[in-house]
Amino acid sequence: MCGRTACTLAPDEVSRACAYRNRGGQRRRPRWRDGDADKYQPSYNKSPQSMSPVLLSQRHFDKEAPVDECVLASMRWGLVPAWFRDNNPNKMQYSTSNCRSEGILEKKTYKDPFVKGQRCVILADGFYEWQKMGKDKQPFFIYFPQSGDREKDQDGSEAARPPAEDSRVLTEGGAAAEEWTGWKLLTMAGLFDCWTPPDGGEPLYTYSIITVNASPNLQNIHHRMPAILEGDDEVRRWLDFGEVKSLDALKLLESKSSLTFHPVSSLVNNSRNNSPECLQPVDLNSKKEPKPTASSKMMKSWLQTSSTVKRKEPDEAENANEQESQAETRLKPTGLQQWLQATNKKPRRK
């Protein structure tokens, strides 16, 4: 399962970090759907019903757009099916934050959007998972390796990083830009739907993260994991519902052993806690920092430089039932820019 994520990049950084490749092989930087950049709130500790950045085909919003042209949108975590008849989406009596890959074609909630090609990619720095340890549960942060082509996981196994792509990315206007060198975002397969209140009102876009059996290196933490899409080709095929039909897209939903992880503080257990300490690696025995991996070194440097960034409370709640999500704060890109400088990497400009 996947019940908590972190996504700390600013809106413009998210756009640069999730450049995609179209059918012609050109890499593009997606723009935000009108107004959606303001709806997204970076957070170290995102829970269901919060807003997250989602990558999807522009064709879902503009029937004249090429199906392989992508756009960024802010969607609420927890799919509300289009056929839901209550005026309050928070009255859903079952959880839809996750969708088991085995049940996509069995449950109407997921089958309808899947057959319609409503596939999306949920973007995050990584996700949290809890391992049972006797009567307690130990949280871990799980993410793509951030340095080197291969590195060892906590259990000694090696995790392969997807190969680097062409470093030239086309902006929306077509000008070439350098490859994003900041935090490598996790790309998780998902489904989305659009619900409109029966009595009228603004449409609500929501999503569910698809899960599969955990890979061997993650099975000791939990038996399920998000369906991870690796590299430009898998992302393109999952989103390109015009070229890749539903049954072929299902073949992309497999367990992946390319993730790394480290234990974190139980501070993350409470979704109201939203600080860099949620991601900080800890030692399970001494509660001190463990022997660092390349990725955890990068994360430590990033957290140390971003922890002093001033934050402010959002102007209003994302919806009436999101009390836990109200603690999410809007992060300025300064901390991440400092991290890039600390690792001898030049921060991007807008």
- Residue 22: the pLDDT is 87
User: In this predicted structure, what is the pLDDT of residue 297?
Assistant: 56
Q: How confident is the model at residue 1 (pLDDT cuts 50, 70, 90)?
A: low
Say if 260 falls within a structural domain: yes
State which residues form the domain around 140. 5-342
pLDDT for position 303: 54
Q: What is the 3-state secondary structure of the chain?
A: CCCCEEECCCHHHHHHHCCEECCCCCEECCEECCCHHHHCCCEEEECCCCEEEEEEEHHHCCCCCCCCCEEEEEEEECCCCCCCCCCCHHHCCCCCCEEEHHHCCCCHHHHHHHHCCCEEEEEECEEEEEEEECCEEEEEEEECCCCCCEEECCCCCEEECCCCCCCCEECCCCCEECCCCCCCCEEEEEEEEEECCCCCCCCEEEEEEEEEECCCCCCCCCCEEECECCHHHHHHHHHCCCCCCHHHHHCCCCCCCCCEEEEECHHHHCCCCCCHHHCCECCCCCCCCCCCCHHHHHHHHHHHHHCCCCCECCCCCCCCCCCHHHHCCECCCHHHHHHHHHCCCCCCCC
Catalytic residue among 7, 99, 120, 129: 129
Residue 348 within any structural domain of the chain: no
In a domain, 16, yes or no: yes
Q: What is the pLDDT of residue 340?
A: 33
- What is the CATH number for 106? 3.90.1680.10
β-pairing verdict for 27-28 and 20-21: antiparallel
Q: Is residue 128 part of a domain?
A: yes
Q: Does 349 fall in a domain?
A: no
Dump pLDDT digits (tens) for 132-177.
988 899 999 999 998 653 444 444 333 333 333 344 455 554 444 5
pLDDT value of residue 154: 42
In this predicted structure, the answer to whether residue 306 has a pLDDT above a threshold of 70 is no
**Average pLDDT for 46-53:** 95
Known catalytic residue at 70: no
Asked whether the predicted pLDDT for residue 51 surpasses 90, the reply is: yes
pLDDT tens digits for 221-250?
A: 999 999 999 999 999 999 999 999 999 999
Residue-level pLDDT at 304: 53
Mean pLDDT, the chain, whole residue set? 80
This prediction's pTM: 0.78
Domain assignment present for residue 124? The answer is yes
Lowest mean pLDDT among 32-41, 50-59, 232-241, 334-343: 334-343
pLDDT at 307 over 50: no
- The whole-angstrom separation of Cα 86 and Cα 89 is 7
Mean pLDDT value of segment 310-324 = 38
pLDDT number for residue 191: 98
Examine the pLDDT at 113 and tell me if it is beyond 70. Answer: yes
Residue 254 has pLDDT above 90, yes or no: yes
Catalytic, 13? Answer no
Q: How many domains does the chain have?
A: 1
Q: Which member of 2, 7, 99, 120 is catalytic? A: 2
**What pLDDT, on a 0 to 100 scale, did the predictor assign at position 62?**
94
The per-residue pLDDT for 301 is 59
Mean pLDDT value of segment 320-325: 40
Residue 63's pLDDT is: 93
- Residue 165 in domain: yes
| Residues composing the chain | 350
